[in-house]
C-alpha cells in the first residue's frame, strides 16, 4: 500500500503548483501591453475588468473597499494611474497584474477617512 502516500504527495504538489500559477498575467506583461499601441486596448480592458471585479466584490460579498475613484473618472485616467504606478515600482512587475492594478488604484484613490 505504498501507492497511497505517493498519490497523496503528488496531489499536494499538484494543488500547490496550481495555486502558485493562479495569476496568468504579470505586471510586466500588463505594462508591455499598455505601452504598445497595438495592444493598448487589452491594457485598458484588463484595468477596467479589475476595477469592475472589485466593484462586484463590494456589492456581492461586502468586501472592504480598497479604493474610491471619483464618479467622473474615465478608464483612460485609470490606465494612466496604473501605468505610472507600474513604472514607479519596477521591482513588483513579477507580481500578478490584478494585484498591482488594485495596489495602484488604492495608492491613487484613497477613500475618505483613510490615513496617509
pLDDT 10s digits, 8-25: 333 333 333 333 345 689
Output the CA angle 74-79-80, nearest 5 degrees. 100
Topology given in CATH for the domain delimited by 24-108: 10k-s Protein, Hypothetical Protein A; Chain A (1.10.890)
pLDDT 10s digits, 32-79: 999 999 999 999 999 999 998 887 766 677 767 778 889 899 999 999
- Whether the model clears a pTM of 0.85, i.e. scores above it, the answer is no
Dig out the grid coordinates for 14 from the structure: 499538484
Amino acid at each position: 500500500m505504498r501507492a497511497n502516500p505517493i498519490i497523496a504527495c503528488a496531489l499536494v504538489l499538484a494543488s500547490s503548483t496550481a495555486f502558485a500559477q493562479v495569476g496568468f498575467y504579470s505586471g510586466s506583461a500588463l505594462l508591455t501591453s499598455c505601452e504598445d499601441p497595438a495592444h493598448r486596448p487589452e491594457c485598458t480592458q484588463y484595468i477596467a475588468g479589475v476595477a469592475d471585479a472589485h466593484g462586484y466584490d463590494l456589492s456581492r460579498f461586502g468586501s472592504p473597499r480598497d479604493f474610491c475613484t471619483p464618479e467622473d473618472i474615465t478608464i483612460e485616467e485609470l490606465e494612466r494611474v496604473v501605468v505610472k504606478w507600474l513604472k514607479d515600482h519596477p521591482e513588483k512587475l513579477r507580481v500578478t497584474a490584478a494585484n498591482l492594478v488594485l495596489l495602484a488604484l488604492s495608492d491613487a484613490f484613497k477613500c475618505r477617512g483613510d490615513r496617509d
